[in-house]
Copies of this chain bind each other. A is one copy, B any other.
Amino acid sequence: MKVRIKDIADRAGVSAGTVDRVIHNRGEVSEKTRKRVIGILKEQHYEPDILARTLASRHPLKVAVLIPFHTPENWFWKKPLSGIYDACSELNHFKIEVREFLYDQFAKGDFIEKADEGLNYLPDAVIAAPVYFQETTEFFSRCSESGIHFISVNSNIDHPGQLTYVGQDSRSSGRVAAQLIDFGVLKDSRILVVSIAMDKDNYSHILRREEGFREFWGRNNKASGMEIINLSIAKDSYPYIRRALTETFHKYDSIAGIFVTNSRVYQVAKYLQNTSREDICLVGYDLINPNIKYLNSGTIDFLISQKPHEQGYKALVTVFNKLKMNKQPSPEQLIPIDIICKENLCCYQV
């Protein structure tokens, strides 16, 4: 049934050690027998036994994690990390070693420094969040040269040789938001798109969310008559936001729906609650506590989750599958766009 190294060796008329050397490209095998062994390996569909392999192997699988660190103010990158660790403890038995190289997402120099440290660690694979496009590209190139596998999470750089990308299709998520609002408002309504203090690591996401949001009516319903108004708010402080919203409501009456392109939707919810405008459809991103509060109170109608935890989890599992199981992942692993409302919230809270 199962083909072992010994079986291959017998058929090739050599010893197990020779087959082993062929499998690991460790040299010290004549070209002639190498060809022969390789032929038999393929012919017999040899698959190494992972259990025996990791049991016998002394070296762990080293994975470097190169993402921004999180702070009390910027919680975002906490979840991918815990997702990685959760996956790690599930795969614990397989000798996986995770090492963090967390950088300041607002300091390019720090990224470069931490990237260097990551390479010096001599990992087998790198999980990286590409905040700095140019620098990450260079970093991935260096990985490629050193034979280090690399995968990008959250936003895609699509470097050649990249193992996979794990993240959300932001454009689709924008379309989902549009469909939700379209469903909730009457025809010929005014809809507001609010972008608040776009943070560095989500900048391209936000643009694509907006694109998707517009695309929904552009494609499906040119004559829908929806009027879409843009509002960009530079600072994430409530007084600032309140002023901007007040101005906008003054300028445009009868706004029926609001789409907030990032997690700051709770600020808008606060404003709507304070001004008794809870009937306005409100859709935004991310299951963070202030958002959940307004989801439960009914001010926020829907939240779209980026599932950061799952992103980290899937990233590590992918590394494991590739390097231990020799399973090639699909080039893109798009996280499902979950629609969260008050009534299904409970099943998504971990």
Contacts and interface: CB of A to CB of B under 8 A. Distances in A.
A344 B348 contact: no
B216 A172 contact: no
A339 B341 CA distance: 9
A339 B347 contact: no
Contacts of A339: 338-339, 341, 344
Interface size bracket, A side? 35 or more
Interface in A320-350: 334-339, 341-344, 346-348
Within the oligomer, what is the number of copies of this chain?
Answer: 2
Nearest to A177: B343
A55 interface: yes
A341 B179 contact: yes
A210 interface: no
A338 B341 contact: no
Given A51-B51, A51-B54, A52-B55, A347 B337 contact: yes
Contacts of A54: 51
A93 interface: yes
A343 B216 contact: yes
Contacts of A337: 343-344, 347
A124 interface: no
A45 to B, nearest CB: 14
A172 B50 contact: no
Most buried by B among A178, A216, A344, A346: A344
A176 interface: yes
A94 B93 CA distance: 12
A75 interface: no
A117 interface: no
Contact of A183 (B175, B184, B334, B344): B184
Given A175-B343, A176-B341, A183-B184, 17 more contacts: A51-B54, A51-B55, A51-B93, A52-B55, A55-B55, A176-B344, A178-B343, A179-B341, A179-B343, A183-B281, A334-B347, A336-B338, A337-B347, A338-B338, A339-B339, A339-B341, A339-B344
